Amino acid sequence: MGVTQTQGVQWAKNSIGKAYDYDGASGIQCFDLINQYAHELFGIAFSGAVAKDLMQTGNVGGFRVIPNTAGFYPLPGDIFVYNYGTAGHTGIVLGSVTSSGFVGVDQNGGEKNEASTQRTFNYNNFAGVVRPPFTAFPTRACKVKVGNIVLLSAGAKITSPWSSNEAIPANRVNQYYKVEEIHALSSKWSNSEYEVLIRSNETTYRKWIYEQDLSLAPAAKFKVGTKVRLSTSATNASIHWSKRILEKKYLGQEYTIGQIDSTAESHSPYQYMISSPTLGNLWVLEQDLMDRTIWFITKEPFMNQGHNQNPEVKNGKLYKTVINDIPLETGAKSMAGFVRQNTWPMLTNGNVFLIEYPTHLMVKVVGVKPEWTDYMKSECLRLTKGQISNYNERDMKVVAQADKKYNWIEIDNLPKDWQAISNRLRGNLREKFCQYFLSTRVSYGKQSDGKFYLQIINIENNERAVELAAKLKKWFPGDTNAYTNAQVYLQK
C-alpha cells in the first residue's frame, strides 16, 4: 500500500524532538532526517555528501526534484532544500505555506546537532524541493454526499479520531440518518477513506461514522398518487409536527399520496403527505404506510356473498335443490346443519376472500350481521394468531357494508405466506363461520301438510345445482327414507 501525503506529514510531525543519525557519521545532521524519512516510508536513501546535493541526486525511487521558480510554492510533505554555504540545508515541509515562507521540521538547524525541531522558513536561498511519490488519497470520491439519507449498518463504529472506534449502541443502528459533513481520512481505515458526520431528524443523535458503515437509502417505496393505508400505530412525521400518536380516526384508513420528502427518522428515509377527502392532509413516515394497489383478488366461481345472505332470488337465473317430506323438524334441523358443515367449500367463497397488495395480504370476511360481529371478530383474531402468532390486533377492523345491514371484518397487514394465509386461514374462517354464512342459503321449513323441507337456494347454475343435489342424495337417500330425493328447480 502506498504512502499518502497526510501520512508523510504525520511522520514529520512525529519526528519532532527525536534525533536521527541515519549514516552513523558526523552525528545528527539535517540529511539524516531526510534519509530516515525516505527509508521508513519509501524504503530508499539518497546519495550525496551534503544537503544541497539532493537537487542532483533526488530523482530516485519515484522522488522528483523540482527547482524553485517564480511563483512556486512547496507542498506539505515535500523535502525542502537550501543551497547556501558549502553544505546547504534540508528538512520536511509541514504546512502553513504562504508567499513569505512555510512551517517545516529540520535537524541540526542551529548547527549544534539539534534534534528535529519545528520552525518557520523563508525563501532566501531556497533551491527547491524533492517531492515524494505520495499515493493520491483519497483515491476516489466518497460514496455518500452531504444531504443524502443513509442507513447506518449493524456493527458500525464511531471514527477513531473522535472516540477510539467506539461501537455504536444497538438501538442506533439499522436506522436512517442525514449526512451533514464529510472529511477525508488521513489514511485508509478498513474499506473507508472518509468519515461522515450523520444526524437524526428524530433525536439528538449526531456522530462521525466510517464511510463503510453507511449505505444510501433506497428509492421511495411509493409514488405521488399511490393509494396507501395508514397503519394502526402511525405517528406524525416529526420534521413537520411534534411527533405524536395520531388520533384513532386517522388510523387504518386509506389515503392518496400527494407529496414526498426525504427525512432521517428511525426506520423511514422518506415522509409523505397523504390526503383523504374526509380527513384532510397528514405528514407521516414511510414505515407507517402500506401500498393499497391491488395485485390480486380471489376470483373463484360463485363468489357472490349476496347469494349466501339474501332470501331466494326469483330471477329465472338461479337454481335451488330441495328435499321434501322430512317427517320431523329435529331431523330437518340436523340435516341442515350437516349440509352447511359439508358444503361450505362450494358455497362460502363470497364470504371470505383474499386480496394481495405489493407488501402484504388481507383476508376480508363479509356478510357479517351486527349481532354476530363481536363473536366473529374474536374468532378471526384467534384463528389468525393460530397462523401468525405475533399478529397485531390493531390491524384488524370492522367496517359497515354499504347496505348497512351487514359488516365486514378486515384482517389486514398479513405476511405474504400464501400457504398459511390463503390455504389455511381462509379455509379455517370459512369452515368456522359456515353455520352463520349459510343460515339463509341452506335452510329448512314447514310444508303445508305439516312435514318439513330442506333446501339450498341461489345456486349460480344448473351444473352446480345438480352437483349439490347428488351430494344430498348420497347423504340423505330418499330411496331408503321417508323423504324425497333432492330435486333441482329454477328459481322463478
pLDDT tens track for 413-463: 999 999 999 889 999 999 999 999 999 999 999 999 999 999 999 999 999
One domain, residues 312 and 250: no
pTM: 0.58
Here the contacts of 34-39 (C-beta below 8 Å, separation 24 or greater) are 34/79, 34/90, 34/91, 34/92, 37/8, 37/11, 37/12, 37/79, 37/92, 38/63, 38/79, 38/132
Residue 407 domain-assigned? yes
131-170 pLDDT per residue, tens: 999 988 888 999 999 999 999 998 888 875 544 567 788 8
Residue 430 domain-assigned? yes
Residue 141 domain-assigned? no
Domain boundary (72, 106, 131) is at 131
**Cα 167 from Cα 67, distance rounded (Å):** 49
Q: Strand pairing partners for 254?
A: 229
One domain, residues 30 and 111: yes
One domain, residues 273 and 316: no
Kindly report which listed range (112-121, 242-251, 308-317) carries the lowest average pLDDT score: 242-251
One domain, residues 157 and 84: no
One domain, residues 173 and 82: no
Look-up of cell digits 409514488 = 223
pLDDT category of residue 263 using cuts at 50, 70 and 90: confident
Sheet holding 79-82, edge to edge: 64-67, 126-131, 79-82, 89-95, 102-106, 117-121
Residue 136 domain-assigned? no
Residue 139 domain-assigned? no
Domain interval for residue 107: 5-131
Identify the pLDDT of residue 268: 86
Where residue 72 sits, what CATH number does that domain have?
3.90.1720.10
350-372 pLDDT per residue, tens: 999 999 998 899 999 999 999 99
One domain, residues 460 and 361: yes
One domain, residues 308 and 378: yes
One domain, residues 210 and 233: no
Domain boundary (162, 191, 216) is at 216
Q: Is the pLDDT of residue 224 over 90?
A: yes
One domain, residues 329 and 446: yes
Identify the pLDDT of residue 308: 85
One domain, residues 347 and 265: no
Within 8 A by CB and 6+ apart from 234, the residues are 245, 246, 250, 251, 284, 285, 288
Residue 143 domain-assigned? no
The DSSP secondary-structure symbol of 356 reads: E
Domain boundary (216, 245, 272) is at 216
11-33 pLDDT per residue, tens: 999 999 999 999 998 899 999 99
Residue 461 domain-assigned? yes
Residue 356 domain-assigned? yes
Identify the pLDDT of residue 318: 95
> Can the peptide bond before residue 345 be classed as cis, meaning omega within 30 degrees of 0?
no
Counted domains in the chain: 4
One domain, residues 120 and 65: yes
Parallel, antiparallel or unpaired: strands 280-285 and 289-291: unpaired
One domain, residues 398 and 466: yes
Coil, helix or strand for 255? strand
